[in-house]
A and B are shown apart, each in its own frame.
Chain A
Amino acid sequence: MKHLYLALLLLPAIGLSAQPPARVSAQQFVDLQQGNTAFAGFRRAHAKGLCVSGEFRSNGNLQSYSKASLFQPGVTPFVGRLSIAGNNPTAPDLKAPVRSLALSFSLSRTEQWRLAMNTPPVMAVADPHSFYQQIQAIQAGPDAIKQFFAAHPESNGFLTWAAQYQPTGSFAAETYHSINAFYLLNANGEQQAVRWAMQPTVSVASGNLLGNDALQQEIAARIAADQVVFDWVFTLADAADDETNSTKAWPASRQQITAGQIVLTGSTAQLDGDCHAINFDPLVLPTGITATADPILRARSAAYAESYRRRAKEQLQGALQESSNE
Chain B
Amino acid sequence: MSKPAQFSLSMRILHWGMAALVLSMLAAGLLMIRSLEPWQLTIITLHKAFGVIAVVLVTVRLLNRLRHQLPALPDDLSALQKKAATASHWLLYSLLFAMPVSGYLMQYFAARPIEVFGWFRLPAALQVDIYYYALFRELHGWLAIALAGMIALHVGAALHHHFIRKDNVLKSML
A: residues with CB less than 8 A from B are 23-27, 29, 106, 108-112, 128-129, 274, 276-279, 281, 283-284, 287, 291, 293, 295, 298-299, 301-303, 305-306, 308-309, 312-313, 315-316, 319
A29 touches B36 (CB 8 A): yes
What chain A residues lie within 8 Å of B129 (beta carbons)?
277
Binding site secondary structure of chain B: loop
Residue of B32, B110, B121 near A302 (CB, 8 A) is: B32
Minimum distance in angstroms from A114 CB to a CB of chain B: 9
Complex CA distance for A27 and B34, rounded to whole angstroms: 6
What chain A residues lie within 8 Å of B17 (beta carbons)?
none
B39 and chain A: residue at smallest CB distance: A298
Between A and B, 8 residue pairs with Cβ closer than 8 Å are: A25-B36, A106-B127, A110-B120, A110-B124, A298-B39, A299-B38, A302-B44, A316-B135
A314 and chain B: residue at smallest CB distance: B134
What chain A residues lie within 8 Å of B35 (beta carbons)?
25-26, 302
A298 touches B112 (CB 8 A): no
| Tally of A-B Cβ pairs under 8 angstroms | 98
A312 touches B121 (CB 8 A): no
Binding site secondary structure of chain A: helix
A306 touches B33 (CB 8 A): yes
With A106-B127, A315-B131 in contact, is A111–B113 under 8 Å at CB?
A: yes
Interface range for B: 20 to 34
What chain B residues lie within 8 Å of A23 (beta carbons)?
36-37
With A293-B38, A313-B138, A316-B135 in contact, is A26–B126 under 8 Å at CB?
A: no
What chain B residues lie within 8 Å of A291 (beta carbons)?
41
Complex CA distance for A287 and B121, rounded to whole angstroms: 10
B113 touches A106 (CB 8 A): no
